[in-house]
Structure 1
């Protein structure tokens, strides 16, 4: 059986971004997962039934550590002699593609699931642009996980169009539509959670799920919601996710509002987001940049209309006024208007809800995405 090595920078990406895919692919390849160490890597071994290997990588620019990790990857690839090395996440992509090229791995694939560098400026942007081009030059194929991302890559001249391929309709892993089903959450469980969070029977609940960072539009979201909450006392905002204060901190005034506004419910990172989605009415996702947003897929699949930024990925899942609302990026005023619209027009919000789940099942069902990727793997010789 040919070997397939999947590489991510941190183990939680290997566990969550590609959940179920490793086990599926192991019916066709000998699959090995590579990332930094942690409990999540043990979960991958147990849940996916594949071998794993530890190579510590950082998420920031650390030349000596990066050199060491590249050498360790190179040695591992030389020993294992894989047919395919497939990398995800920026640092794993750069180091993994270079190491795989040096080790003469025949097929070197890198999935692009977002471009953090798009928010960088000046010398840092120039450096990151060059790193991106270098990564693509070491790969044999680049797999953007949305059509919008493919266009951004071409517009920035990172590589030639013929080197790019979007799998299926986009998304790195599709969505398990049987898992993300609102009917699986009992009324009893929902009521219990609402009581715990202090959500009233007539409250309209907005939810955000993701990293609680600037790049996800949290500063704008908190300001917009804070103004709304002064006029509307029967609304709540649930924040699900963790902060990254070192990499991408929020403004101090945003932190203050999250703490002081009693209508904002910050619940931290949750292993199972479904109960929180099931007690909500609208996803608010004003992100600055995405590859292909899993959260929008998950919430749509659980019948939530979504307010999203007009960015790649988001505007491929959401059609304005059909299954959600699309707003300009970094526009606090338009975000507030969109949230007000969801409050003022419940009939239109409910009409959008009717167009959510069915669209996801049709275009992004997990098995469809997996089979499309497998089809590509099998086309390689």
Structure 2
């Protein structure tokens, strides 16, 4: 019989999106069970179709909700005691805390947690103290911690959350790698399709398009991005800012002036959520990703694989994918002026920018192909006894 592994995330889209394909691959070697909140539109139920694995719903919130969290720990404990897994492997902050605690209480032999970002790095005061305590508790309950970038590993050690013996980066980083045959610019050489999408978004043929993909929140640097774009547009008229993502107004709202500019300028296009980002990357000229914190950002790998030059902030993950002035440009966080300078440079040196994009794809193909990441994680599972 195959040994059982339970993979757990706070919301189901993390199982089906961030780990796309990985669960189906692992099910060839292990009995995989997915656990997450139910989610909207029955996303958890769709995992049976998408990944070919059974699922169990346990409601978890992304906020600090002590009573609901305790209920979730008890529900997870019951699932673990019933299923008797060989491994519980959690992703995302809340699922990590609740999942590792419940797995510890249920005496699951191998309790693994992947770190794909640390929200606490932007917290201060009592909230930072609380988050530090929770983070340390999560690591204490886990038997192994997998930061998905070397920069994250350094931060964890610096903060003293756990010992180096518990930490390991899988392959060269990333939670899932990237399918570079799927994110392939050669599939989007059809000028007619690209022109049609551009026209539908009110983007002119000669417009230079800066694209952002992700949550439209403060922590992603959207305030600085919109500010830099607004300044740039005063002197460069044939530019557009394409925002592919949704707001999270309750968790991390943008400044009112940022929202006002987005809503009232036809130079900024907000598509909302899209199921497939490739067409939007294909009609763009450069990725702008001024995030304050990341683990190992899929968006930068996706854009780079599509041969876009990437403007990113000097944070872990981003600075492990992008080589400054070779495959993109790295700028300081929360620095609208530095971002403006980088955007101006990419716009005014289009030939050099295209070359950076081509080199970025080569770098990603050589280092972050998803099958390499999957095989490395499988080897990690197989080494446990």
For normalisation by structure 2, the TM-score amounts to 0.98
**Does 2:126 align with 1:123?**
yes
SS of alignment partner, residue 243 of structure 1: coil
Q: How many Å separate the matches in 2 of 1:207 and 1:80?
A: 44
Q: Select which of 82, 86, 90 maps to 1:87.
A: 90
For residues 30-49 of structure 1, what are the structure 2 equivalents within 5 Å?
A: 30-38=31-39, 39-49=42-52
Q: How many Å separate the matches in 2 of 1:22 and 1:187?
A: 35
Per-residue Cα deviation, 1:56-91 (whole angstroms, up to 9, x for no partner)? 001111111111110010011011000000000001
- Unpaired runs of 5+ in structure 1? none
Q: How many Å separate the matches in 2 of 1:248 and 1:238?
A: 20
Deviation at 1:354, TM superposition (A): 2.3
Aligned position for 1:8: 9
Aligned position for 2:318: 314
**Does 2:299 align with 1:295?**
yes
- Unpaired runs of 5+ in structure 2? none
Moved over 2 A (4+): 185-188
Q: Is the contact between residue 32 and residue 52 of structure 1 (CA under 8 Å) also seen in structure 2?
A: yes
The number of equivalent residue pairs is 381
RMSD of the alignment, in Å? 0.7
Q: How many Å separate the matches in 2 of 1:150 and 1:374?
A: 21
Deviation at 1:201, TM superposition (A): 1.8
SS of alignment partner, residue 356 of structure 1: helix
Per-residue Cα deviation, 1:265-284 (whole angstroms, up to 9, x for no partner)? 11111111111000001000
Per-residue Cα deviation, 1:199-243 (whole angstroms, up to 9, x for no partner)? 122111100000000000000000000111111110111000010
SS of alignment partner, residue 44 of structure 2: helix
Q: Select which of 37, 51, 56 maps to 1:53.
A: 56
For residues 184-333 of structure 1, what are the structure 2 equivalents within 5 Å?
A: 184-185=187-188, 186-333=190-337
Q: Is the contact between residue 209 and residue 241 of structure 2 (CA under 8 Å) also seen in structure 1?
A: yes
Aligned position for 2:376: 372
Aligned position for 2:73: 70
SS of alignment partner, residue 100 of structure 2: helix
Q: Is the contact between residue 140 and residue 162 of structure 2 (CA under 8 Å) also seen in structure 1?
A: yes
SS of alignment partner, residue 245 of structure 1: coil
**Does 2:153 align with 1:150?**
yes
Q: How many Å separate the matches in 2 of 1:47 and 1:200?
A: 37
Q: Is the contact between residue 226 and residue 261 of structure 1 (CA under 8 Å) also seen in structure 2?
A: no
Deviation at 1:371, TM superposition (A): 0.2
